[in-house]
Structure 1
Amino acid sequence: MGLALDELSVAIDGKRLVRDLSLDVGAGRIVGLVGPNGSGKSTALKCVYRALRPTSGVVRVGVDDLTRLPLRHSARIVAAMAQDSAVDLDFTVEEVVALGRAPHLRGNQALSGRELELCARTMARLDLTRLARRGVLTLSGGERQRVLLARALVQEPQILVLDEPTNHLDVRHQIELLSLLRGSGLTVLVVLHDLNLAAAACDRIGVLSQGELVASGTPEEVLTTELIDEVFGVKATVVGHPLTGDPQLLYALAPTPTPTPTPTF
């Protein structure tokens, strides 16, 4: 199932945070949103998982206007891992992961054998089996991040929305996460700050600046030295990855001015 943002705008307290954003995420494709802090990336995602209602424009899942679907129905289609996701109660890892089945259950209905197997299999994929009975409040930030992703995957969505999913993850788990997304077959809209990870993981990238989409295309089309300088204010050299050919950015620190010596008399 595809996802489309059609001239989406969000204004809060009179300030326009997202302006006329149009973006298509084809079925089974991974599209990344990148941009400086405050450019509207997380705000746009909140409209997709219904934490915010757009001021104007439409979010479509397939041919349906997302806001017209019952919440339970949309929760079966769209799963999200928000940047500010938190678990305040000390549930165990396996209890938090099982919460992903909530849109499919009624009342206190118990998980079926298939659902229990789904939870176990998903925890294994994300290297969580050994933590299954640990309280989530005892986990590191990276471990909690993987638990929340497992909860989203257990939802069995058709569309996955991820806001900075690699936060707190070590290099190994970053690579495993992106490989998992690549092989999931899901339609994925993901916000990433690391442009090199975005180039490796995404089929297409949209670049936001001050709430507006300023570029959209393949990583090769979008990640240019000119755009990085214009949008991020950073000098970078673009090279091909020696193994994959994906564009990779090499950044240069601005030279530190040499202080002028104070004359002595």
Structure 2
Amino acid sequence: MHLSLDGLTVAIDGATLVHSLSLDVPDGSVVGLVGPNGSGKSTALRCVYRALRPTGGTVRVGGDDLASLKPREGARRVAALTQESSSDLDFTVAEVVALGRVPHQRGNGPLTARERELCASAMESMDVAHLAHRGVLTLSGGERQRVLMARALVQEPRVLVLDEPTNHLDVRHQIHLLSLLREVGVTTLVVLHDLNLAAAACDRLGVLSGGRLVAAGPPADVLTPALVREAFGVEATVVPHPLTGAPQLLYRLTHQEGTP
């Protein structure tokens, strides 16, 4: 399902955090939002999963204005993994994952056989099946992140919105999660700080700086030394990955003369 941000603007307390952002996420593609801290990435995502109402512009999902959809229909189309995702209640892992089916249920009936199978498959895919009966409050940050990703998959969304999904994950699970995004074929808008992971996982990148889109396109076209210098304030050499050809950044650590 196609996702589009059309002239999205967000102003809070007199400060404009996102300026007329227009970005397309074609059906089945993975598009990454990258940029320095405070550039408006998470703010833009909050509009897509309706935690914020934009000051101007429109978010469209499958051609429909997201604001016009009823909450249940919106939740059927869009699933989100946010930086704020947490639980103060010690539900079991299996119970948390099953919450992903709420938008599809009527009343408080039990899960169907298909839904139980869907939950089991999602837990297996995120390597948390062995934790099914553990309380989520007993888990590490990385384990909890994988549980929440399994819940999002169980929701069977048409669009995934992920804000730093690799936070707390070890390198194996980072690679596994991003590989999974490529395999499931769900339209995905993802915020990532690691530019090398973003280049490897995403079909296209949008670079935000100061709340404005300063570049958009395939990673090889976007991640140039000049752009990295301008947007992130760091020096980098860009080389192709020897196996995939994806651009990889080699950063130069700079320091003042005489600094140890």
Q: TM-score, normalised by structure 2?
A: 0.99
Q: Which residue of 1 aligns with 2:187?
A: 187
Equivalents in 1 of 2:74, 2:62: separation in Å? Answer: 12
Higher Cα radius of gyration: 1
In structure 1, how many angstroms separate the alpha carbons of the residues matched to 2:26 and 2:257?
A: 48
Deviations 1:184-234 (A, max 9, x none): 110000000000000000000000001000000000000000000001000
Percent identity of equivalent pairs: 71
Partner of 1:148: 148
CA RMSD of aligned residues (A): 0.7
Report the CA distance between 1:242 and its aligned residue: 1.0
Structure 1 equivalent of residue 60 of structure 2: 60
2:100 is matched with 100
Partner Cα distance (2:111, 2:256) in 1: 60
Equivalences for residues 1-265 of structure 1 within 5 A: 1-258=1-258
What secondary structure is seen at the aligned counterpart in 2 of 1:122? helix
CA distance in 1, matches of 2:257, 2:55: 46
The CA distance in 2 between the partners of 1:109 and 1:53, in whole Å, is 32
In the other structure, the counterpart of 1:262 is none
Instruction: Extract unaligned runs of 5+ from structure 1.
Output: 260-265
Q: Which amino acid aligns with 2:250?
A: L
What is the distance in 2 between the residues matched to 1:115 and 1:129?
15
Give the letter for the 1:183 counterpart. Answer: E
**C-alpha displacement at 1:82, in angstroms?**
0.5
State the shift of 1:32 in Å: 0.1
1 CA distance for matches of 2:64 and 2:130? 41
Cα deviation for residue 151 of structure 1 reads 0.4
Taking the aligned partners of 1:4 and 1:109, their CA distance within structure 2 comes to 35
Q: CA deviation at 1:153?
A: 0.5
TM (norm. structure 1) is: 0.97
Q: Distance in 1 between matches of 2:168 and 2:256?
A: 30
1:2 alignment partner AA: H
2-side partners of 1:234 and 1:69: how far apart?
A: 42
- How far apart are the structure 2 equivalents of 1:104 and 1:97? 14
Paired with 2:121 and 2:191, the residues of 1 have a C-alpha distance of 26
Unpaired runs of 5+ residues, structure 2, are none
1 CA distance for matches of 2:257 and 2:148? Answer: 45
Other structure's SS at 1:153 match: helix
